[in-house]
Amino acid sequence: MHVNSIRPNAKTRYTLLMQLNSPQHQAVTAPESNLLVIAGAGSGKTRVLVERMAFLMRDQGLSPHALMAVTFTNKAAREMRERLEETLGRSLHTMWVGTFHGLAHRFLRAHWRDAGLIEQFLILDSDDQQRMLKRIIADLQLDDAKFKPRAVAGFINSCKDEGQRPHHLQTGRDYYNDMLIRLYAEYDARCNAQNLVDFGELLLRTFETLQSKSELLRHYQDRFRHLLIDEFQDTNTIQYAWIRLLAGLNTHVMAVGDDDQSIYAWRGARIENIHRYESDFAPVTTIRLEQNYRSTDVILKAANAVIANNSGRLGKELWTDQGAGTPIQLYAAFNEQDEARFVANRISQHVDQGGLYGEQAILYRSNAQSRVLEDALLRAGIPYRIYGGQRFYERLEIKNALMYLRLIQNRFDDTAFERIINVPPRGIGERTVEQIRETARDEGKGLWDAALQLTRGEGLSGRAKTAVVAFIDLINDLDGKATDLELSDLARDVIDTTGLLAYHGSEKGERGQARVDNLNELVSACRAFEPEDEESPVLLQFLSQASLDAGETQADPDADAVQLMTLHSAKGLEFPRVFLVGAEEELFPHVMSLDSAGGLEEERRLAYVGITRAMQHLVVTYAETRRLNGRDHFGLLSRFVREIPQDCIEEVRLESQISRPFVSSSFGARPVDRPHRHPRFQDYDDAFGEDTGLGIGSRVDHGLFGEGTILAFEGSGPQMKVQVRFDDGSKKWLVLQYAKLVPLG
């Protein structure tokens, strides 16, 4: 039936409103005012937003053109519009519903002249942006190894997210910073000259246009009586400023969000925006949606207990009437391979009992963790998809490293040669590569031999010849060491010597760290590799296996398959069964978060998001030993698990499938009667914690080494040791009774 033929009568409208719980009904039918709706996970916030807009148009008589609704994804915007059309029974294709970038683009298309653009302005995607920056870097004769286009683009985009043009930025701090500002200014000039607009520019240009054109601003302030903003906790500086600017004297703003789910600081989100909303938009009516329609009581009890450890929260307590549910299961794996096998086994058991693969999801903190999990699923014949990402051997940094290994193994591998000859950048441009290709074609040779020929003749310029010779020498040197090195040591040498680790690690924020983690995980994969043929070179066998694994296609989008994803990618999703893996200190919470209260609290919010993805069953796993960064790491159970009430958790064992009650102490959680525990999982002396007030995460001062953070305890009594990461980056084990640590704060 066509949407326009659906006309809900008064009885239908009444029924829809009666289906709302009391806070939902209050939010939907609130008088015109500024509203802050603190919407907990699974509390029906999308429904509230849709019903609020429907109420304003249907019951209050407002035109669709008097409303603007902002979401964070195009998918969410489409779903909101479709649900609203179904509710109202008419088309709303002209209504302003979309993402910040989508609505800003719509504004600039309508007001291109006011924005200083031509009507046919074009949008630069991230690849186009980096290509332009690459040309600018070359034109300014800058070192492209030091000023990488990707890193410069990240700097420019961050500045735009903060509402900063080049002239807003302070120069004179250091050469690198000054050159970044110069590159930003030159990039801006070229974009303006060519009428090009990147994603960051869309919102910044819209904000600047409204700010400078008072009549245009008044037009939109008068037009939009209501602004409805979803996921308010994820807004960045320029988005928040844009909302404040657009909200005129007669405009009412409905901010819907959850400060406990603010997990995107690394990409510019400012949690303080939702915290300051009540003062900046006063007077504000605050409504809390706390009834959860997704998860069992046990899962919500765990989530509430964990997030309660964060400070400065707006405050809410999730609850449900769906029953207690089963306890959260905790599995202590011997290592990451054991952890992956356990998860694969449990997934298969569920399917054997009549369940579906698609009902199950595996969540992890770092992308690098997927490698071992993928391997276990492949070997168990379990179909899977990587949600919002690529399989391990398909990731850019892994492909680059494998290509180096391939060229070491086989100089006739033209694909590998072409891919890495200038990765990382070493001054070998496309013109030089084309000369090598032409020589190869003319002489009937491979690219490697063609490059050798050109370096021995006059075909290349002096600078290009020097760069190609250096590349050839690099590969030969690595090959020369390969016979004397274990496979994992060779991989480590390749990653370090070629500069891949530094190159990929230079990306800002989480993306750069993820690429570093993946490269380190490749070393671990090499160490774990077991060759099948004693006669064949180990490197060749590994490369063959990696190619086979990469060739295994993911399950089709519509197929029944397990979903693998990072905790960041899981936000907004839900699954009947969730496996939260890698629950260890320094992995989750991530090691980079432990030095600041803000970082640790964001990690805890990430744990809250992970727990609340589970509808019926949650399984948490950790490894007593895990290979991280190419080294064996003895794990300590994550503080987030230790913050869960003990009556919510039971330990399970793969071998016998026997469940044991879970006991929590001051410093750790331990299963009852668990044999063969690693020393770092021994029962800690509770009296120590009581007497000193110290615990994992405590800040302390040492007379010689300075200030640091306690990471772990080992042993008991007079011989108890503590591991401290000091602010200079060093880690030390100290005997407690001699260390004379002074608690801070």
Residue for token pair 């099948």: 532
The alpha helices in 36-123, defined as continuous H runs, are: 45-58, 74-88, 100-110
Secondary structure element (H or E) that encloses residue 220, with its range: helix 214-223
In this structure, are residues 327 and 650 in contact, taking their beta carbons and an 8 Å threshold?
yes
3-state SS assignment for residue 480 = helix
- The closest of 248, 740, 243 to 257, measured between CA atoms, is 243
Cross-strand bridge partners of residue 385: 563
User: Quick check: is 430 catalytic?
Assistant: no
Please state whether the peptide bond connecting residue 283 to the residue before it is cis, i.e. omega within 30 degrees of 0: yes
Backbone angles phi, psi at 549, to 5 degrees: -65, -40
Q: State the chain's maximal CA–CA distance in angstroms.
A: 88
The whole-angstrom separation of Cα 181 and Cα 357 is 50
Q: Which residues, in sequence order, are CB contacts of 668 under 8 Å at separation 6+?
A: 636, 637, 642, 681, 683, 684
Burial 651-687 (b: 16+ CB within 10 A, else e): bbeeeeeeeeebbbeebbbbbeeeeeeeebbbebbee
User: Quick check: is 46 catalytic?
Assistant: yes
- Strands 226-229, 252-257: pairing is parallel
User: Quick check: is 498 catalytic?
Assistant: no
- Give me the catalytic one of 26, 46, 221, 237: 46
Cross-strand bridge partners of residue 36: 255, 286
The whole-angstrom separation of Cα 319 and Cα 23 is 13
Token readout for 734 is: 């100290």
Name residue 699's amino acid: R
Backbone angles phi, psi at 271, to 5 degrees: -65, -25
- Give me the catalytic one of 24, 130, 261, 563: 261
Name residue 65's amino acid: H
Token readout for 565 is: 């994803």
Q: What would the DSSP string read from start to end of 405-437? A: HHHHH-TT-HHHHHHHTTSS--S--HHHHHHHH
Provide the 10 A C-beta neighbour count for residue 1: 5
- Strands 625-628, 360-364: pairing is unpaired
In this structure, are residues 94 and 102 in contact, taking their beta carbons and an 8 Å threshold?
no
* 3-state helix, strand and coil shares in percent for the chain, rounded to the nearest 5: 50, 15, 35
- Give me the catalytic one of 613, 642, 699, 721: 613
Q: If you ran DSSP here, which 8-state letter would residue 486 be given?
A: -
Q: Write a three-state SS string for 648-693.
A: HEEEECCCCCCEEEEEECCCCEEECCCCCCCHHHCCCCHHHHHHHC
3-state SS assignment for residue 30 = coil
- Give me the catalytic one of 51, 198, 201, 231: 231
Q: If you ran DSSP here, which 8-state letter would residue 291 be given?
A: B
- The closest of 279, 403, 331, 355 to 583, measured between CA atoms, is 331
The whole-angstrom separation of Cα 506 and Cα 317 is 40
- Give me the catalytic one of 45, 571, 605, 670: 45
Token readout for 337 is: 């391979």
User: Quick check: is 231 catalytic?
Assistant: yes
In this structure, are residues 35 and 254 in contact, taking their beta carbons and an 8 Å threshold?
yes
Name residue 320's amino acid: T
The whole-angstrom separation of Cα 570 and Cα 581 is 13
Cα separation of the two ends of the chain:
64
Question: Hey, which residues are catalytic here?
Answer: 45-46, 230-231, 261, 613
